[in-house]
Structure 1
Amino acid sequence: MAERLELRNLVIESDTPSTSSPVTPITSPKTQVNILGILLAALSSLFFSLSSLIVKWLSDVDPLELATIRFIGVLLPTIPILIYKNQNPFPKGQRLMLLLRSFAGATSLSLTFYAFRHMPLADASVIVFSVPVVVAIFARIFLKEPCGLFHYFALFLTMLGVLMITRPPILFGQTTKHNNFLGPLAALLSTFFAAIVYILLRALKNLHFSVIMTSFATYSILQTSGMAWATGGMCWPKCGTERLLVVALGVFSFSGQMLLTIAAQLEEAGLVAIARTVDVVFAFMWQIIFFNEMPNIFSIVGAVLVTSSVVLIGLRKWMMSMPTTSVVRKKFGFLLL
C-alpha cells in the first residue's frame, strides 16, 4: 500500500523540476511514469486501429451493433479486475463525473458514426481527429495544464499531418455530393464530447481504471444497443469467421480502452490526445497490408508529420527528466518552452 501511495504521488507531481530539490536521475520512477503515459497512449492507438480494421471488414454488420459488441468486450474482462481489486464501482463523490464520462464517450462514438454516414469521410475524419486542439484548450481552462510554445508546435504538426492524410474536399478543391449541415455538426459535436472524455479521465486519475471502465462500458452498452434496436440494426453475426472477428473486436477494444484510461491518469490530457492521433498512421499501415491500397505522397507526408509530433513529445519528456546542468538539455532547451 505504501508503494502504491508513493507511485501515485509521483504521478501527480509537476513536470517542471524544482530548483530547490535534488537532481532527479534519468532512471527515477517519476521519469518512467511520465514516459509510460505517452507509450501507453500510443499503444492504445494500435489496438483501436485494429478494432477499426475489424469494423471495416464486418461491413454487413450495423455500426451501432458493433459499438455495442465493442463495449461488451470492454465490460466483461473489466468486472473480474474490479472484483479482484475490491473496488467500489460507484464511489461516492465521483458518481456524477463517472456518468458524464460515460455519456460523453458513448455520445461521441454515436455522433462519429452519424457524421461518417452523412458527409464525406475525409471531411468527417479531419474534424474528428482535430480533438487534440479542443483538448488543449479545455485542459488549459479546466485543468490549468501548461500550454506553451512547444505544445502549440506539436499541435500544429499533428493537425497539418491529419489534413494531409484526410485531404478534406473543402480545402483541396474536390466536389462533394453531401451538403447536409447535420453531418458536419455531428462531427463537431463528436470532437467536443471526445475532448470532454480526455478531461474527465484526467480529473478521475485517482480512481482505479476498472472503476472508470465498468461504468463507461455499462452505460455505453445501454445507449448503443438501445439505438441499434430502435433502428432495427440488431442481428447475430452470420458465420464462424465473423463471430471470431467479433470476439477479437471485444479483446482489442478492452486492451485499447484500458491503456487509454491509464495513460490519461498518468499524463497531461493534451499530450495523451496528441499521442492518440498515431492511430491515423496505423490505419494507413493496415490499408497497405490488408487492402493493398498504396497511399499517395500526401498521405506519406501526413503520416510522417503525425509520427514526428509524438516523437517530439517523447523527446521533450526525456529531456525534462534530465538535470538542469545536462549538456543535451541546454542544447535543445527550445523544446522545453
Structure 2
Amino acid sequence: MTEHLELQHLVDMSTGSGDESIPNLLENKRPLIKRCPYIGLILATLSSLFFSLCSVIVKSLVNIDPMQLAMFRFIGVFLPTVPVVIYTEQPIFPKDKRILLVLRSIVGTVGLMLSFYAFRNMPLADASVIVFSVPVFVALFARVFLKEPCGIWNTISIVLTLVGVILITHPPFLFGNTAIESNQNYNNFKGAIAAFVSTIFGANAYVLLRVLKGLHFSVIMTNFGAIAILQTLSYCFILGVLCMPNCGTDRFLVVCLALFSYLGQILLTMSLQLEQAGPVAIARSADIVFAFLWQVMFFNEMPNKFSIFGAVLVLSSVLLVGLRKWALALPADSQLRKKLGALAQ
C-alpha cells in the first residue's frame, strides 16, 4: 500500500514545486491524452488495483513471514530503477543527502513491514483503511518538523480519520466486550497497532521526501530499494524467518508480488505526470474500495457496520485532503476554484 510514498517528490514536481523536471514517459502520447482527458485518473486507479492485489498476496501467503514478503516487494521496486539511474547518469549516493536518504529508507521500510503484519492480523479492508490514511497525517508531521501550516481543514481530516480508525479497530476499553469476533487466526489488537504505527512511519516518510524533493526520483528509489533489501534481509536472518517459498503457487505469487509492485509504481508515476496531485490522491482512494471487494471475494469476510462507517469517515478525510490540494493548485481566477470555495482558502 505504501509505494505512492516513494513518489511524493513527483507530486511536488508535477505541481511545479520541484527543482528539476521529470522526463515525461508519455511524451509521444499527446493525441491519446486529448482523446481521453481522464487518462491520468484511470492510470491512478489501475495503480490502486495493483497495489491492492499486492495486499491480497501478502495476506494469502501465510507460510512466508511478512518481513520476507516485504523484501521480495523491495526487490521488485529496486531492480527496475537501477537502469533508470544509470541511464540518467544521476549521482547514486550524493554526499549532502546521504543521512536523509538512509533515514528515509529506514522509515519507509519499517512502515511497509508493519503494514504487512497488519494485513496478516486483521481483515484486509480494515487494515487497508488504516494504512491508507497516511496522507491525512502528513500535515501534522509537516507542522512539527517542517513548520508548515496546519489549518482547520487538515485538523478536521485528522479528527475524522482518528474516529474512523477507532470504529474500525473497535477497542474493548471503549466498546466493552461487544467487539465483533472475526477469524480466530486474527489478532485485531496487534494488527491495529501495527497498522497505526505503519501510518505514523509512512507520514514521516512523506515529510522526508519533501526535504529530498530536489533529487531525481530514480536516486531516491534506488537508495530506498537497496537499503530496504539489506534491512529486511538482516531482520529475516536475525529472527530466523528466511526461507525459500514452496514450489508452485507460493513462488508464483511471490513473483506476482514483485511484478504488481513494479506495475503499480510505474502507473502511479505516469498518472502524476498527466494529472495534478489532488485528483490523483482522490483516485488512489480506490484502494479502500478494492480492499473491501477483495475481502469479500477472496476471504469470504463480510465487513461489519463499524468497519463500514469507519471506512466512510477515513475515505471522506482522504477525499477532503485531495480536493483541497487540487483547489490550491488551481489558478486564482479559475471558476472551479471559486466553486470549491472555502477549500481553496
* Shorter-chain TM-score above 0.5: yes
Query: Which of 86, 103, 108 in structure 2 is aligned with 1:105?
Result: 108
Query: Which of 213, 218, 224 in structure 1 is aligned with 2:221?
Result: 213
Residue 164 of structure 2: aligned partner: 161
> Would the aligned equivalents of 1:126 and 1:163 in 2 still touch at CA under 8 Å?
no
1:68 matched to 2:35? The reply is no
Q: Kindly state the Cα deviation for residue 188 of structure 1 after the two structures are TM-superposed.
A: 6.4
Query: Which of 121, 136, 141 in structure 2 is aligned with 1:138?
Result: 141
| 2:164 counterpart letter in structure 1 | G
Looking at structure 2, the residues matched to 149 and 67 of structure 1 have their Cα atoms a distance apart, in angstroms, of 36
Q: Kindly state the Cα deviation for residue 59 of structure 1 after the two structures are TM-superposed.
A: 0.7
Looking at structure 1, the residues matched to 174 and 128 of structure 2 have their Cα atoms a distance apart, in angstroms, of 13
| 1:313 counterpart letter in structure 2 | V
Query: Which of 300, 312, 316 in structure 1 is aligned with 2:308?
Result: 300
Q: Kindly state the Cα deviation for residue 51 of structure 1 after the two structures are TM-superposed.
A: 1.3
Higher mean C-alpha deviation, range 146-155 or range 157-166: 157-166
Higher mean C-alpha deviation, range 165-174 or range 134-143: 165-174
Q: Which runs of 5+ in 2 are unaligned?
A: 1-11, 19-37
Higher mean C-alpha deviation, range 308-317 or range 192-201: 308-317
Looking at structure 1, the residues matched to 123 and 153 of structure 2 have their Cα atoms a distance apart, in angstroms, of 32
Residue 17 of structure 2: aligned partner: 12
Residue 201 of structure 1: aligned partner: 209
> Would the aligned equivalents of 1:131 and 1:273 in 2 still touch at CA under 8 Å?
no
Residue 20 of structure 1: aligned partner: none
Higher mean C-alpha deviation, range 142-151 or range 251-260: 251-260
1:244 matched to 2:252? The reply is yes
Cα separation, partners in 2 of 1:101 and 1:144, compared to 1, 3 Å: same
Cα separation, partners in 2 of 1:99 and 1:326, compared to 1, 3 Å: closer
Residue 22 of structure 1: aligned partner: none
Structural RMSD (CA): 4.4
Q: TM-score, normalised by structure 1?
A: 0.71
1:58 matched to 2:44? The reply is no
Cα separation, partners in 2 of 1:149 and 1:244, compared to 1, 3 Å: same
Residue 335 of structure 1: aligned partner: 343
1:315 matched to 2:329? The reply is no
| 2:250 counterpart letter in structure 1 | E
Q: TM-score, normalised by structure 2?
A: 0.70
After superposition, what is the alpha-carbon deviation per residue over 1:241-292, rounded to whole angstroms, capped at 9, x for unaligned?
Answer: 2212101111222344567789999999x99999877644432221022223
> Would the aligned equivalents of 1:129 and 1:162 in 2 still touch at CA under 8 Å?
no
Residue 230 of structure 2: aligned partner: 222
Cα separation, partners in 2 of 1:121 and 1:170, compared to 1, 3 Å: farther
> Would the aligned equivalents of 1:38 and 1:267 in 2 still touch at CA under 8 Å?
no
| 1:335 counterpart letter in structure 2 | L
> Would the aligned equivalents of 1:281 and 1:307 in 2 still touch at CA under 8 Å?
no
> Would the aligned equivalents of 2:161 and 2:313 in 1 still touch at CA under 8 Å?
yes
Identity %: 58
Q: Which runs of 5+ in 1 are unaligned?
A: 1-6, 14-34
